[in-house]
Amino acid sequence: MTRGNLLDPAAGIEAYFEALAEYPRLFEPRRYRRLVLDRARLVSYAREHGVALGLTFSNDYVLVLVDLVEVGEGPATIVHPYFRIVSRGQLLGGHNVVVVATVADPKLGNVGDIVMVEQERHALGRLMLELPRGFAEPGIGLEANALKELEEETGYLGAEPRLIGTVLTDTGLMDNEVHIVHASVVGRRERSPEIREVITRTLLMPADMIWSKILSREIKDSYTLEAIGIWSRLSTHSTSR
């Protein structure tokens, strides 16, 4: 649902102050980029420059905030809009996850193989080979959300979930903190992805094949690269003991 637009800048700004009241930690003082939180000044700037400010968009997954910020001191101060994307589920206490799931039961495949999914990504308009992952869901713990996403997207049942790393998606654009969880695959049932997901197939791949596809640039998803890198390092360190 769009919450602000150029024709009515006051709408997005009003929603912005509602968000300020509901989620004050999003507006905590910054040392170098100071947020302008004067309503009249925001409306004036939006109208004068023809830009949308405030809470300009929201849906089940994100809030898009366009702040007005001040940088510098005295005559050198500049004022400009700066937008950011806030994870709604994370804001409400949930945990974004990416899952490195390795086969533990030889009845399911080669022990150590990693569960991958191929799905169409709307932003790119093409199929991507990735690790299973999911948005934060309020009320679901980190490990539980990882096992839930693994089962829904692939049908594989995980056990012994373990946090092995955490990454920030894009510090210049969004606040997404994504947790990398390893799980052992111990069973399988029918997968049940969300209706909005387009997962075309599930694959089991050895780590060296995944690395080959990474190096050949067939796999480019940043979550997958980061998670496989951390998992490979941990696996190498563990087997070298």
How many whole angstroms separate alpha carbon 29 and alpha carbon 66? Answer: 16
Phi, psi of 180 (to 5 degrees): -95, 120
- What was the pLDDT predicted at 237? 61
Average model confidence (pLDDT) for the chain?
92
- What was the pLDDT predicted at 212? 97
Positions of E strands within 22-174: 33-35, 54-58, 62-71, 78-87, 96-103, 114-121, 126-130, 133-134, 156-168
CATH number given to 93-239: 3.90.79.10
Q: Tokens 């049932």 correspond to what residue? A: 189
How many whole angstroms separate alpha carbon 97 and alpha carbon 176? Answer: 10
pTM: 0.88
- What was the pLDDT predicted at 4? 40
List pLDDT tens digits, range 169-187: 899 999 999 999 999 999 9
Asked if 93 contacts 75 with a C-beta cutoff of 8 angstroms, the reply is: no
Residue 35: exposed, middle, or buried by beta-carbon count in 10 A (0-12, 13-18, 19+)?
A: middle
Residue 74 in this model has a pLDDT that exceeds 50: yes
- What was the pLDDT predicted at 221? 95
List pLDDT tens digits, range 29-46: 999 999 999 999 999 999
Residue 6 in this model has a pLDDT that exceeds 70: no
List pLDDT tens digits, range 185-215: 999 998 877 777 888 999 999 999 999 999 9
Residue 229 in this model has a pLDDT that exceeds 80: yes
Per-residue pLDDT band at 239 (split at 50, 70, 90): low
- What was the pLDDT predicted at 5? 44
Q: What does the domain layout of the chain look like in residue ranges? A: 5-87, 93-239
Percent of residues, the chain, with pLDDT higher than 90: 85
